[in-house]
Structure 1
């Protein structure tokens, strides 16, 4: 790589156009895929371990640990939270903070900054939310209001799992398809967290909510103007903002709104672009959002999400008979059908409808069969689906266990079908990959990124 092209790889958020912008977007997507592959494997390992432990002789100890309370006392003040709830409300807030950073980056420097390009994945995400919910409701309609509370379980897409699978089986798939999945997934997360905020909020405490918003305003002000207040560079800003973020999370938790909402709101206040420009004369600079992403993603992918999965995915199925009973339940069937059929149909049909509009089409280089494979991949609900199941039915209840069986099996079926289809497509695209990596002019940018055929 030439000296001139090095800044492109180091600083993937600077506003460029043409071949350099497309190449920079490619590097950013590849970096995301590499990180999520590791996170996806850790998530899978934590899930398998939870299922083994929950159905072994250690099962009783596992459930007792999940119900154990962590306590904090400060003088006359006393606060406690169970281990399971801490994993779902506190640790998962880190995951949603990163999802918020990715979403904001998409709006500022990614695909969502161009309304024409954003329209298709956004509409696809909406279709992938509406149709699974309708299918679930249709299946459990006769099972009463308790079962209906789980209508939002199959609407979510797990970014870590979906991108991990795509990174493994889709090494040669078009960049536009991978960008499409990432954009769809972050919009899907935004919709899911909005559903959680509006439909799963109980016993709202207005004063705590107001205190949370005040803290959020302070956090946002300091995130935007930290250099003026503290005279520090971007790399030190996280240490100043972290305690304020914890306070915002606490007040959100006490307000009755699910505390993971705080993670997304905090992320939206973080600037994407570096203060004073993307280059200070000595080389490229990262924006605060990218610095936070580097700082917190290992914590999220390596600790927060796997620990949440370990304490949430553990379901005592009660042997083969218990598994059969759970799978045959309308709740589990509704979730599986929603994830596998609903996501595929919703995303595909919504995309087809929106591309009927004048001037709107699939990203260049993406075929409809590729989109169907991506839609299947989006049926891996998992992390957010597990959270919504707990909010719908209560952690550890019989209905929650049934819901989680449906989530695990539905996500597995969707993943297997997606691997089969996308794997076949990947083998076809591999035959084109060698030609697309040619750099005839030696500028450090593969020539394919200067061709309008790959504009995404």
Structure 2
């Protein structure tokens, strides 16, 4: 028999299944998604400040069928098209939280929901106060209100290896509710003119999408074309097209029926998340984060009221709003903080919520679409504010992580080497007897070593 020839590798062809699964699983991790997002932003900054001509030419290049109202720039496609995938995943996360997560129980949901609301209201107030005093524009009040889920969870995953799992659940619930209100802000405040005919057909498309789901119709070849049509109609309606992604995500069933390992929502999120984390969000960052930082750009961020309001809103407003809202709710209502968490943990997460990035960049573009120079400065302020919030949060989380790691080590200590951590035997008399014997043996050994050392020392100093 002739040996089977090894299969030739095709350049840029389909990856072998193990490698493909490995890449997909990596992209589902918050850490990898956050790193890709950060890398895309850094590349955008370097590209825009070294080869600004080529960056602007590609970012502003238009493509798409004009007859369908889709002759859009590359930046517009990234913000309205690719980011709809991100909001689709966010919609599924919100639905899952509502039916099976923290938001299902009103008592458990109270703290993160109030924290999210206060964490959006306070930055807006900070921005308004700064611009009211400085005589700036109030158009950007919504820019510092958003929290970037991917970036915040990535920082928590990298730093908080020993932090309680309840802290991640609190942050995730807070960020999902934050995203919901950010979507409402985009829909209500950044929709100028509405094409009711296109909007009506988009609603009909969403109703058909919902009906097909409830009838149990399966097949990507049915839903993907329909989703593209709904998105195109929403884009032409004047309502921000990402709303279509959220609406479709919320329609998916996220509770499991008998015999199901995963619900349809969980299964589709599992499939789409790598596309969102590995392509949609990084490309949006690539074509939105490219701002010029030459000359006095950084100085202007801290002197112009609009940009200073964004920075203070993200760094100060978010921390005060999230922490203050949580504390007041726990203090004056029946809602209680998870017993696994302490107030320093909540403050660290409140600071982490100041990472606005993706959604803040999007809202900045919408708020100052008619003033491109100011829009660019607002983007710079979002990047600086998010960076400052990330650094402050990383320091606080690191301190808390060290504290919990020490506690974990104490809980796992087994001085008597009986295979049972000592903390579980504190109330047993035999444990104390064993520990007393161990301590006495150690003390006797120390005395013996001291006597040997004393005799050796005496022998060295005595006569030869």
Instruction: Please tell me the TM-score bracket, short chain as reference.
Output: 0.7 to 0.9
Equivalent residue number for residue 450 of structure 1 = none
Please give the alpha-carbon distance, in whole angstroms, between the structure 2 residues aligned to 1:425 and 1:201.
42
Q: Secondary structure at the match of 1:151?
A: helix
* Equivalent residues in 2 for 1:327-342, closer than 5 Å: 327-342=302-317
| Equivalent residue number for residue 424 of structure 1 | 399
Shift of 1:209: 0.9
Residue of structure 2 equivalent to 1:291: 267
The aligned residue for residue 29 of structure 2 is: 35
Instruction: Tell me: CA distance 1:390–1:118, structure 2 relative to 1, closer, same or farther (3 Å).
Output: same
Quick one: which of 70, 76, 81 aligns to 2:72? 81
Match for 2:280 among 285, 290, 304?
A: 304
- Residue 391 of structure 1 is aligned with which of 334, 343, 366? 366
Cα distance change of structure 1 residues 197 and 107 upon mapping to structure 2, 3 Å threshold: same
Whole-Å Cα distance in 1 between the matches of residues 305 and 264 of structure 2?
46
- Where does residue 359 of structure 1 map in the other structure? 334
Partners in 2 of 1:95 and 1:51 — Cα distance? Answer: 22
Distance in structure 1 (CA, Å) of the matches to 2:288 and 2:146: 16
Tell me the TM-score normalized by structure 1: 0.82
* Contact 1:271–1:289 (8 Å) recurs in 2: yes
The reply to whether residue 65 of structure 1 matches residue 58 of structure 2 is yes
Seen in structure 2, the aligned counterparts of structure 1 residues 241 and 436 have a Cα distance that, compared at 3 Å, is farther
Query: Shift of residue 241 of structure 1?
Result: 1.1
Higher relative contact order (CA 8 A, sep 6+): 1
Aligned mate of 1:55, from 40, 49, 52: 49
Unaligned stretches of 5+ residues in structure 2? 1-24, 414-464
The answer (yes or no) to whether the contact 2:27–2:277 under 8 Å persists in 1 is: no
Give the match for residue 101 of structure 2: 110
Q: Partner of 1:64: helix, strand, or coil?
A: helix
Length, aligned pairs only: 390
Gaps of at least 5 residues in structure 1 are 1-30, 439-456
Matched residues in 1 for 2:83 and 2:205: separation?
A: 20
Larger C-alpha radius of gyration, 1 or 2? 2
Aligned mate of 1:241, from 216, 223, 231: 223
Q: CA RMSD in A?
A: 2.1
- State the Cα distance separating 1:358 from its structure 2 match: 4.2
Question: Which residue, 140, 145, 162 being the options, matches 1:155?
Answer: 145
Deviation at 1:225, TM superposition (A): 1.8
Mapped partners of 1:54, 1:327: distance in 2: 21
The CA distance in 2 between the partners of 1:81 and 1:264, in whole Å, is 21
Q: Specify which of 218, 226, 243 is matched with residue 216 of structure 2.
A: 226
The counterpart of 1:166, out of the listed 150, 153, 156, is 156
What is the CA distance between 1:327 and its match in structure 2?
Answer: 3.2
Once the two structures are superposed, residues 129-180 of structure 1 have per-residue CA deviations (whole angstroms, 9 ceiling, x without a partner) of 00000000111125667x2111000000000000000000011111111100
Q: What corresponds to 2:242 in structure 1?
A: 260
Distance 1:170 1:121 in 2: 19
Candidates 134, 139, 152, aligned match of 2:130: 139
Q: Which of the numbers 75, 91, 105 marks the counterpart of 2:82?
A: 91
Match of 1:372 among 327, 340, 347: 347
**What residue in structure 2 maps to residue 414 of structure 1?**
389
CA contact (8 A) 1:33 1:163 kept: no
Match of 2:320 in 1: 345
Distance in 2 (CA, whole Å) between partners of 1:60 and 1:86 is: 20
Query: CA offsets per residue over residues 334-360 of structure 1, 9 Å max, x none?
Result: 001000100010111111111123431
Find 1:192's aligned residue among 164, 173, 182.
182
3-state SS of 2:29 partner: helix
Deviation string, structure 1 residues 233-266 (Cα, Å, up to 9, x no partner):
xxxx333211111111111111101111111111
Q: 1:434 deviation in Å?
A: 5.8
C-alpha contact 2:166 2:340 (8 A) present in aligned 1: yes
SS of the equivalent of 1:328 reads: coil
Whether the 8 Å CA contact 1:331–1:403 is kept in 2: the answer is yes
Distance, in Å, in 2 between the alignment partners of 1:191 and 1:248 is 22
Cα distance, 1:381 vs structure 2: 0.2
